[in-house]
C-alpha cells in the first residue's frame, strides 16, 4: 500500500487553505501532520478521507485515483476527535458496526480479535458512557480497524485526555497500528504526540507543507528558522560564517552545511538544550537567567556575553544570576541566513 498525495490544493470560495500539498506514505507507516491551529492540517486529512473536494492535485491509494471516489468507498478508516461512538450500542457492537455485510462468524471473530488487541474483553457489553476516555479512544480505533482498511486517519484523537494518559495511549495506538501493519495519518498540534507516534512528520505552515521527514531529522535539521523554533526546545543565536564553521558567542561551532553561505555572512544558529554541557574550564561564560524544574532535571535559560539567550539541561540546582562555563557538544550546527 502506498498513499501518494500530489500537488493538492483545497479552497473554500476564494480562500485557498491548502497550497500544492504533497507527500508519500508507505504500508505500515504512521505520519503526523503538525502545525498551529488553522494551518490546514485538518483540511488535508478531510480531503484524503473524501470529506473535502480538492481544487487541484491528486490523491491515490494502491495506484487508484481517489479524487472522485466517495468517502465510504475509499477503504479508509477514521477516528474522530470526539470518537463519535454510538451511545445505544455496546462496545462489541460499536466495533462490529462496519462489518454488517460480513458473515456472522467472521464478524464475531474479528470483534473478538480487536477486543483482545485493545484489552477490552471485559468491557465488551458495556456502553460508551460507562467507559473512561482512554477506553472510548480504544473502541473508536478498534471500530476503524475492524474492516481492515488500507489507511487510518486520526483527527487529534488524544486531545480530550490528560497529559499522562495521552502519552501512554500514543504508545499503545502506535503499537496497535504496527501489529496490524496499517498505515495511519494523525493530525495534532502536540509535538510530543507526533514524536511518539510518527515515522514521518509533516510540518504545515499557512496551508503549505514546509517539511516532511522522520522525527530525528526534523528536530536536528529543520527546513527553516521558523520550523526550528516551532519544533522542540531551542533558540537561535547570532553567528557569522567562518572558514571552519560558524563563529558565535559559544565559540567556533562546526556547521552542518555552509556551501550556500559565504564567509563573513551573518546567520542564526540553532542551539538545542542537549547541545550544551556545563564545563568549569570552558572559555565561554553564561549567566543563568531562568530555570524551569522538570522533576528529573532543570531546563535553564542562559545568556552569553553578547546577549544571546539559549536553553540548557542540567540535573544541578543552579541559582538565578550564577555565571558558569558552557561548552557546545552538539553535532554540526544548523545555520540560517538572516
Q: Render pLDDT for 38-56 as a digit per residue (tens, 0 to 9).
A: 999 999 999 999 999 999 9
pLDDT at 82: 85
Please give the backbone phi and psi of residue 146, each rounded to the nearest 5 degrees, phi first: -55, -45
Domains defined for the chain, CATH in brackets: 3-220 (3.40.50.300), 234-337 (2.40.50.140)
Give the count of beta carbons closer than 10 Å to the beta carbon of residue 27. Answer: 13
- Distance of alpha carbon 174 from alpha carbon 182, whole angstroms: 10
Q: Render pLDDT for 212-247 as a digit per residue (tens, 0 to 9).
A: 999 999 999 999 999 999 998 899 999 999 988 999
pLDDT > 70: what percent of the chain? 100
Q: Which residues contact 269 (CB under 8 A, 6 or more apart)?
A: 236, 237, 238, 239, 246, 248, 253, 333, 334, 335, 336
Q: Can you tell me the mean pLDDT for 126-134?
A: 94
Is residue 146 pLDDT above 90, yes or no? yes
Per-residue pLDDT band for 293 (boundaries 50, 70, 90) equals very high
Q: Can you tell me the mean pLDDT for 56-71?
A: 96
Q: Render pLDDT for 94-119 as a digit per residue (tens, 0 to 9).
A: 999 999 889 999 999 999 999 998 99
Identify which of 147, 183, 15, 27 has the alpha carbon closest to the alpha carbon of residue 75: 147
Q: Which residues contact 45 (CB under 8 A, 6 or more apart)?
A: 33, 153, 155, 185, 187
Mapping DSSP onto H, E and C, the string for the chain reads CEEEEEEEEEEECCEEEEEEEEEEEECCCEEEEECCCCCCHHHHHHHHHCCCCCCEEEEEECCEECCCCCHHHCCEEEECCCCCCCCCCCHHHHHHHHHCCCCHHHHHHHHHHHHHHHCCHHHCCCCHHHCCHHHHHHHHHHHHHCCCCCEEEEECCCCCCCHHHHHHHHHHHHHHHHHHCCEEEEEECCHHHHHHHCCEEEEEECCEEEEEECHHHHHHCCCCHHHHHHCCCCEEEEEEEECCEEEECCEEECECCCCCCCCCCEEEEEECHHHEEECCCCCEEEEEEEEEECCCCEEEEEECCCCCEEEEEECCCCCCCCEEEEEECCCCECEEEC
Q: Render pLDDT for 160-213 as a digit per residue (tens, 0 to 9).
A: 778 777 888 889 889 989 999 999 999 998 898 999 999 999 999 999 999 999
- Taking the whole predicted model, whether its pTM rises above 0.85 is answered as yes
Amino acid at each position: 500500500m502506498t498513499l501518494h498525495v500530489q500537488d493538492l490544493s483545497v479552497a473554500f470560495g476564494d480562500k485557498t487553505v491548502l497550497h500544492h500539498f504533497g507527500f508519500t506514505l508507505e504500508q505500515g507507516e504512521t505520519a503526523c501532520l503538525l502545525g498551529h491551529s488553522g494551518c490546514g492540517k485538518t483540511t488535508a486529512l478531510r480531503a484524503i478521507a473524501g470529506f473535502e473536494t480538492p481544487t487541484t492535485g491528486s490523491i491515490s491509494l494502491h495506484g487508484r485515483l481517489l479524487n472522485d471516489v466517495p468517502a465510504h468507498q475509499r477503504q479508509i478508516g477514521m477516528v474522530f476527535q470526539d470518537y463519535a461512538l454510538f451511545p445505544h450500542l455496546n462496545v462489541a457492537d460499536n466495533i462490529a458496526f462496519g462489518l454488517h455485510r460480513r458473515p456472522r462468524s467472521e464478524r464475531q471473530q474479528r470483534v473478538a480479535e480487536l477486543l483482545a488487541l485493545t484489552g477490552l474483553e471485559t468491557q465488551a457489553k458495556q456502553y460508551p458512557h460507562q467507559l473512561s476516555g482512554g477506553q472510548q479512544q480504544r473502541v473508536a480505533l478498534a471500530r476503524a480497524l475492524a474492516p481492515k482498511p488500507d489507511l487510518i486517519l486520526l483527527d487529534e484523537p488524544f486531545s480530550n485526555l490528560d497529559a499522562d494518559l495521552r502519552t501512554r495511549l500514543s504508545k499503545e495506538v502506535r503499537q496497535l497500528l504496527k501489529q496490524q501493519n496499517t498505515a495511519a495519518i494523525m493530525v495534532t498540534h502536540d509535538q510530543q504526540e507526533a514524536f511518539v507516534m510518527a515515522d514521518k512528520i509533516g510540518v504545515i505552515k499557512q496551508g503549505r507543507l514546509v517539511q516532511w521527514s522522520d522525527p530525528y531529522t526534523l528536530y536536528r535539521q529543520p527546513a527553516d528558522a521558523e520550523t526550528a523554533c516551532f519544533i522542540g526546545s531551542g533558540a537561535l543565536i547570532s553567528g557569522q560564517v567562518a572558514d571552519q564553521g560558524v563563529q558565535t558567542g559559544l565559540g567556533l561551532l562546526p556547521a552542518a552545511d555552509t556551501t550556500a553561505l559565504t564567509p563573513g555572512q551573518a546567520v542564526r544558529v540553532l542551539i538545542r538544550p542537549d547541545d550544551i554541557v556545563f564545563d568549569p574550564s570552558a572559555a565561554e561564560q553564561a549567566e543563568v537567567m531562568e530555570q524551569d524544574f522538570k522533576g528529573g532535571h532543570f531546563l535553564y535559560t542562559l545568556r552569553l556575553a553578547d546577549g544571546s539567550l539559549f536553553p540548557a539541561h542540567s540535573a544541578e540546582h543552579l541559582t538565578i544570576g550564577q555565571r558558569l562555563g558552557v561548552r557546545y557538544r552538539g553535532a554540526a550546527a544548523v545555520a540560517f541566513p538572516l
